[in-house]
Chain A
């Protein structure tokens, strides 16, 4: 495979470092997606920024393992079924406003999340996951393969989200959640989202680095970050911010784990 030199980067003006890096040398294909201007078509469509695809789903179909998908500034999609990112790839959103990604995804389903990550080394950068459009019991992102990388992802959990924002399940070893924000946007105690982040199964080597857990007005029903369901091994949680009373729960038998705190406000707690 030939290398591609993106002399001016991927053409975005704001957003993640990767989207702004100039030059960017890529040994893989780069695909662009824009829901407003794009048109879905089979490969090789989407490899020209001027002629993007419309949906991330089409891009996943078109790519080969290791490719990069650029979601252009303002790209917004609503799913009625979770999108399985079934190939190893990097998905990066362009654009940010007031520090919040401008690429958004939302689920409008009773029981489907937004993304399932079933391939190793999947990377998602600088996107915003909105609260569900209807009552929803699924996790917005569920990682079941090793080395999932989530960077600068903002997850908003509303009164309609009884599942988790980010969930790691069996197979999701060595996941890394970095510079992400998980916030409750609910406003009534009676209707709070379930959890921000949860490890549902015993997993090793999960890293949560410089993440912000924010209870917002009324918080989460269980906790903003729940590592108490199963026993994590070697979990490294560093410079985590617990805002407005956000709680971090650790399993009492956690082995080789650590937590260092950044900013804590309200009644933010570590329960271990």
Chain B
């Protein structure tokens, strides 16, 4: 057991890193900051003053149950999908005056996800801004692809900006039929497109999942909204197939945003804010 008497040292950002109360961990903490970090294998990165440069290196160094702290201002552009194959919490420090995460990932690839989560339980991504794709991406599994046997994945406080280059790719894709217990908490999905080409969707899934929870999330159509995928009308949240126990509560549907749930879904949708012609198709 390790004790961090003053928390993990960030001044703003996710509560897990900003808490000044003691934090107890069975595993290790790894720090990453692109501007000053240096990648190295082994134990490198466990000292906040000597961070690693990339998340990939931190993932290579970490073990199941560890925490990776992306320090305030960390920025990465990714050209090859980062596979999350360990039960890791990736949590970012930093929050701008506008309330947005200051840690940002951008995908610059013609056909790839940014993160893939496969065959591992309990992965968490917290307080990270995912920017618009830099090039049109043919991948349809999702910028965050929650794939096979990846139950209990958590996205907390993340912010997805989706532009025209995200035309084929959901921000988050539930792409396997064995998903259970995935949760989205205070996550924002916004379309930043302004022309005829619109991003695919915020949360998208065409296969069955069980026990999906979407709490206090913001779905924002922005100026032109989202594009039709799966042969279904455009939606900021589009879960097309069977979903047992889908629970959506405190949803904010802005600028005409739509939640679409397939005909076989069972559960509930509570809306806390709706602007424009926001709608729920359920």
Interfacial residues, chain A to chain B (CB-CB below 8 A): 1, 3, 17-18, 21, 23-28, 65-66, 68, 88, 90, 120-121, 123, 146-147, 174, 204-205, 234, 236, 238-239, 250, 252, 254-262, 264, 270, 272
Contacts and interface: CB of A to CB of B under 8 A. Distances in A.
A11 B211 CA distance: 25
A257 B26 contact: yes
Nearest to A260: B23
B67 A121 contact: no
B268 A147 contact: no
A47 to B, nearest CB: 15
Q: Interface residues of B toward A: which range? A: 35 or more
Nearest to A23: B271
B250 interface: yes
Contacts of B23: 258-261
B194 interface: no
B136 interface: no
B121 A204 contact: yes
B268 A25 contact: yes
B24 A121 contact: no
Interface in B234-251: 244-245, 247, 249-250
B67 A258 contact: yes
A68 B246 CA distance: 12
Given A88-B244, A255-B64, A260-B19, A205 B121 contact: yes
B22 to A, nearest CB: 5
B78 interface: no
Interface stretch (B158-166, B196-204, B218-226, B259-267): B259-267
Given A27-B282, A121-B211, A239-B19, A250 B268 contact: no
B121 A250 contact: no
Given A27-B267, A257-B65, 12 more contacts: A1-B266, A24-B270, A25-B270, A27-B282, A28-B266, A28-B268, A66-B245, A68-B268, A147-B211, A234-B122, A236-B122, A256-B66
